[in-house]
Amino acid sequence: MRLRSVFLLWILLSTVFCKALCAHSDGAPLNCMGSGVDRINWLFATPGAYTCGNLGCHYQYPINSGKGKFMLFVLDTCEPGDTVDILVSFKKTDTDFHGFQVTAQDRYYGNRLVGTFVNVGDDDDTQVEGGGRYATHTKKGTQQKFWHVKWQAPPADFLTVNPVRFYAMGVESNNDDTSMGDYVYTATRLIVVEPKKVKKGQKIKVIDKGKEHKKE
């Protein structure tokens, strides 16, 4: 009963938070992604069925019902600790204002958030939130249809349940400062985080000794 009350309170707070920010363009709320639920730290979770399209921000049209095409590009594999490029974009859209948010989760303990998002150089079109657990647009970034951020995979000593799934939410906005007339889209991609396997007989460098050895 107590867990149910906490969950209902969380839904209420998320709805209020999302509604309070629906008219602002300086970044997406943290809890409107439409991905999995982090059962350990629910304050930094992204709900399984809730997006900006049904929490009150942009609710006029069903999710993914617009004519635009929302896309997420991520590598298929990477090594622990690697930093990979994340590309988010809209195509076939005739509006001038857009937004996005992306996060990454594995299945350990109920879809926890993993890895760290990083801004690219001096790019002021994107920003990271939640301690690097999310990446989203800035106010300036709403005037474009393409964003580029980076994601650093968890280190080798961090247990990662593969594949890691990226969840992205995109908004196609008419910029009228209301929750009406906007379309919400979602996209997902998978990445496997694991060290490269060294084939038998392949030469590997031992840097601390300055020699090359063959793997037996």
- pLDDT per residue over 185-209, tens digit each? 889 999 999 998 776 666 555 445 4
| 3, pLDDT greater than 60 | no
Q: pTM of the prediction?
A: 0.72
Chain mean position to CA 88 = 10
Q: Where are the beta strands (DSSP E) in the chain?
A: 69-73, 77-78, 83-91, 97-105, 116-119, 126-129, 134-137, 146-152, 164-173, 183-193, 203-206, 211-214
Q: Cα separation of 160 and 61, whole Å?
A: 36
- CATH fold of 2-196 reads Immunoglobulin-like (2.60.40)
Domain locations along the chain: 2-196
Mean pLDDT value across residues 57-64 = 71
Give the number of other CB atoms < 10 A from CB of residue 176.
11
Assess contact for 27 and 33: CB atoms under 8 A: no
Q: How confident is the model over 114-152, as pLDDT tens digits?
A: 999 999 877 789 999 888 999 999 999 988 999 999 999
